[in-house]
Structure 1
Amino acid sequence: MRTIRTATFVSLDGVMQAPGGPDEDADGFAFGGWVAPFWDETLDQLMGQAMGETYDLLLGRKTYEIFAAFWPQMDDETGRTFNAINKYVAAGPATPLDWAHSHRLEGDLPDAVRALKATEGRDLLIQGSSEVIHTLLAHDLIDQLTLLTFPIVLGRGKRLFDQGSRPHEWTPVSSGSTPRGVTVGTWRRAGEVPTGSFAPDDFDVGRVQ
């Protein structure tokens, strides 16, 4: 069985839209490219650790189109990896999948991903793809979250979590930070949300009503 994990750029207020450039998923969003000013050698290393050594990509339509227009022309380490691995794409038949080793996920997305997850193979790494993340969080299909959190508040835009996210505790795996204040944390899905109280055992809430 495969592990499904994310490596996601987010702002302090949870926005993940258009981190890479002004023309990336613009859709009226004014701050495209908010990651670039914070990028340095430390973050490059932490990003490499977040992505891992072996994986296939699991992408939504919009992220796939952005990647497919850019990465086939790149001959760096990431480009060579992305061009060689499998890309599983949540997109309808109107979206051409011309990038090498691309595969369309047919039918209901949770069912298609559940079936793919049950096969033997590399981890499935989600990049971008907010709608895919929302759907898979709602169906309990993401095993591990890595969030690269940038020290900015964007105020508006597509967010990592929505109201459909399944409540869970997540167990911390690793953490790191950069001189510019970017924090990188990885969590694995755990059990139900734990709750408790700071009130003494003999506290009677009725006395304060």
Structure 2
Amino acid sequence: MARKITGAAFVSLDGVIQAPGGPTEDPTGGFDQGGWVFKLWDEGINETLGTLFAGDYGLLLGRRTYDIFAAYWPYVEGEEAAMGEAFTRADKYVLTRSDASLDWDNSHRLGDIDAVAALKQTDDPDLVIQGSSTLYPPLLAAGLIDRLILMTYPVVLGSGKRLFGDDTRAGQLEMTDHRVTDKGTVIATYRPGGALPPYPPFGPKPSTSDREAERQRRMKQGTW
């Protein structure tokens, strides 16, 4: 049986997923709201994460998220030590063009999307994506993501790396589950729903007014 790939992401209302875990996690691009998830921590998230990381799993990561995790989780102490040990035991598959060392225990390099597709056909535990915004456009385009769990916080961050970048193809998602936590975080689970349907015959027809024709002309000229 093929492995399933689940993408699980903390998201702001304006689609930002950058540096949810701490102020120094990823301040690139001048992002100054690092750790925003913990500024707004919600106990309902613990339940979702507890279910997500119960049992056996592998991690599918982009190179930068791998670097963040590898510099933190093997060394964490206190209440988070158990999660650090679990992440260290888990197989970690890193989609990267870089040949830089992957020296965290149980780390494996994947050179391209075809390697992810081949990995998905093996019988080992299912895979979970954490962070790694660069993975979503190519994996969705290749039909390799089976499930998305989006934990959308009631916050607007204004700037930062988005979950779905400009290279993401248009497509539908089908909601399979949802809940709203006590603090207003929406936890929604989706599965890919295929291509968007064509524009329906009952949709509004384009205006034929002279004013609309002028607006269309200005758009083509780049002056609108």
Q: TM-score, structure 2 length as denominator?
A: 0.82
Partner of 2:48: 46
**Identity rate of aligned residues, in percent?**
46
Q: What whole-Å deviation, never above 9, does each CA across 1:70-123 have from its counterpart, x for those lacking one? A: 1112464422321111000123454221111111113xx211111111222211
Partner of 1:138: 141
Partner of 2:84: 79
Are the aligned partners of 2:102 and 2:109 in contact in 1 as well (CA < 8 Å)? yes
CA RMSD of aligned residues (A): 2.3
CA distance in 2, matches of 1:150, 1:186: 14
CA distance in 2, matches of 1:208, 1:155: 37
Larger Rg: 2
Which SS does the other structure have where 2:9 is aligned?
strand
Partner of 1:96: 101
2:45 is aligned with what amino acid?
L
Which SS does the other structure have where 2:36 is aligned?
coil
Give the unaligned 5+ runs of structure 2: 210-224
Partner of 2:168: 165
Q: 1:123 to 1:206 in 2, by over 3 A?
A: closer
Q: 1:52 to 1:134 in 2, by over 3 A?
A: farther
User: Which aligned runs of 4 or more in structure 1 are off by greater than 4 angstroms?
Assistant: 195-198, 205-209
CA distance in 2, matches of 1:206, 1:130: 36
1:22 is aligned with what amino acid?
P
Give the unaligned 5+ runs of structure 1: none
Q: How many residues align?
A: 204
Which SS does the other structure have where 2:144 is aligned?
coil
Are the aligned partners of 2:8 and 2:128 in contact in 1 as well (CA < 8 Å)? yes
Q: TM-score, structure 1 length as denominator?
A: 0.87
1:185 matched to 2:188:
yes
The offset of 1:57, in angstroms, is: 0.2
Are the aligned partners of 2:172 and 2:194 in contact in 1 as well (CA < 8 Å)? yes
CA distance in 2, matches of 1:80, 1:88: 17
